[in-house]
Amino acid sequence: MHALILADIEGVLGVWDFENDKENSKILYTREIEVYIKSLINNGVVKITVCDSHNKGDMILPSIISNKVSLISQAKNISINEVKYDFAIMVGYHGMGESLGIMPHTMRFDFKRIYAGGIPIGEVEIYSRWLGFHGVPVILVTGDREAVYEANCFNPYRTTCCVKSLFQNEHIRPQLIYDKLASSVDAAMGLNMSKCLARDNEEISVEFYNADMATVLTSDGFVVSENKLIFKSCTDFVNNLSYLVAKMNDTNLKIVQANRLFIKKVRDLIKRIKKEDLIKSGIMPFLSKNMYFLDSASRKEILDTISICEAGAKETTEIA
């Protein structure tokens, strides 16, 4: 059998802040992957492809590579049409954006929500449906509480294993969790795998933190409805993801440039307004928005509020 391990780092045991502890996070990531590899081999799997799907795909150490194990970076490099995978396991996954997960997000920092049939879905379900479209069942999902919750919501038959939660209040010895992960692999291998095959038959919509993003992307050939990008399915979304991300990166540069000029203009305008009037106006939450997320509607709201404050100040001066 040929197994695919689709791996991410946010849901790996012991990883809480990989940005500030990168080298240790790599070790923990690799150590957990080794648990799955050993367990799969013990279950008779003769070929394993590990895909590091986190960001650039350079966090899993190459020490895992052997005559049975190959390592690739990023999900876009999985030869899903050329290689026959008998099944997949998704490990180290995290909750979707705005969930109570650990470092929650959906694909990227600027995606707010992705919906399937009006229901929010995260990376777990997106990739499960993409793999299902290609005939690859996902038999096991591990990660934080929210990732496991998502996996169970859409297919309670598949095996899941939670390794950490935002709410945990006591330390558990890592080896106990690794033993639990190994047992989870054993349990998953005993399933009727055909029942773990996800269907990809729903249209999905993508919502952005910056509402202007969808409007801008219409010029790049994307279908937009109510400020959301529309895709025929998760597979359609994944197939177009690289092109979409490239266009979003270009758009984000323009958005940040425009917002920097705007904030400079606003700073000059508010010099004439009393601080207490600004605070009462309710403008501060708009001004504190991330440079990527300050959209045209927010900019208009800010300017309108400043105009009202200026008019009020002028009226007070005239009365005095």
62 plus 142 within the same structural domain: yes
Q: In this structure, is residue 174 part of a structural domain?
A: yes
| 270-291 pLDDT, tens digit each | 776 676 666 666 666 666 667 7
- Residue 235 domain-assigned? no
Residues 185 and 263 reside in one and the same domain: no
What is the model's pLDDT at position 177? 95
For position 124, what pLDDT does the model report?
A: 97
The answer to whether residue 203 is domain-embedded is: no
* CA 279 centroid distance within chain: 34
Extended strands (E) in the chain: 2-7, 47-52, 69-73, 87-93, 111-116, 119-121, 138-144, 159-164, 204-208, 223-225, 228-231
Task: Give me the amino acid identity at 34.
Answer: E
Shared-domain flag, residues 20 and 154:
yes
CB 12 within 8 A of CB 92: yes
Same domain, 12 and 159: yes
Q: Is residue 170 part of a domain?
A: yes
Gap between the terminal Cα atoms of the chain: 85
CATH number at residue 63: 3.40.50.10780
State the number of CA atoms in the 13 A half-sphere of 69 facing the CB.
21
Look at residues 43, 150, 37, 54 and name the one whose alpha carbon lies nearest to residue 89: 37
Percentage of the residues of the chain whose pLDDT score is greater than 70: 91
Encode pLDDT of 210-234 as tens digits.
989 999 999 898 999 999 999 999 9
Place of tokens 């997949």: 88
Phi, psi at 47, each rounded to 5°: -145, 130
| CA-CA-CA-CA torsion sign (144, 149, 155, 160) | positive
The reply to whether 280 falls in a domain is yes
Place 116 in a pLDDT band, splitting at 50, 70 and 90: very high
Amino acid letter, 135 = G
Q: How would you classify the pairing of strands 138-144 and 87-93?
A: parallel
Shared-domain flag, residues 143 and 256: no
- 171 found inside a domain: yes
Calculate the CA dihedral of residues 235, 241, 243, 246 and round it to 10 degrees: 180
Q: Which amino acid is at 279?
A: I
Residue 243 forms part of a structural domain: no
- At 31, phi and psi to the nearest 5? -60, -40
The Cα–Cα gap between 160 and 187 comes to: 10
Shared domain for 28 and 128, answered yes or no, is: yes
Based on the domain organization, do 42 and 183 belong to the same domain?
A: yes
Q: 9 with 93, same domain? A: yes
Residues 19 and 133 occupy one common structural domain: yes
Q: Do 126 and 272 reside in the same domain of the chain? A: no
Domain count, the chain: 2
Q: What was the pLDDT predicted at 185?
A: 98
Return phi, psi of residue 232, to 5°.
Answer: -65, -30
Would you tell me how many other CB atoms lie within 10 Å of the CB of residue 54? Answer: 22
* Same structural domain, 170 and 257: no
Q: Are residues 157 and 14 in the same domain?
A: yes
pLDDT at 315 over 80: no
Of 196, 221, 238, the one marking the end of a domain is 196
**Bridging pattern class, strands 138-144 and 159-164:** parallel
Residues with Cβ within 8 Å of residue 288, at least 6 apart in sequence: none
- Give the tens place of pLDDT for each residue, 35-61: 999 999 999 999 999 999 998 989 999
Query: Is 52 within 8 Å of 59 (Cβ atoms)?
Result: yes
Residue 223's pLDDT is what? 94
The confidence band for 320, taking pLDDT boundaries of 50, 70 and 90, is very low
215 within domain boundaries: no
Structural domain of 27? 2-196
Closest residue by Cα to residue 64 from 38, 102, 97, 90: 38
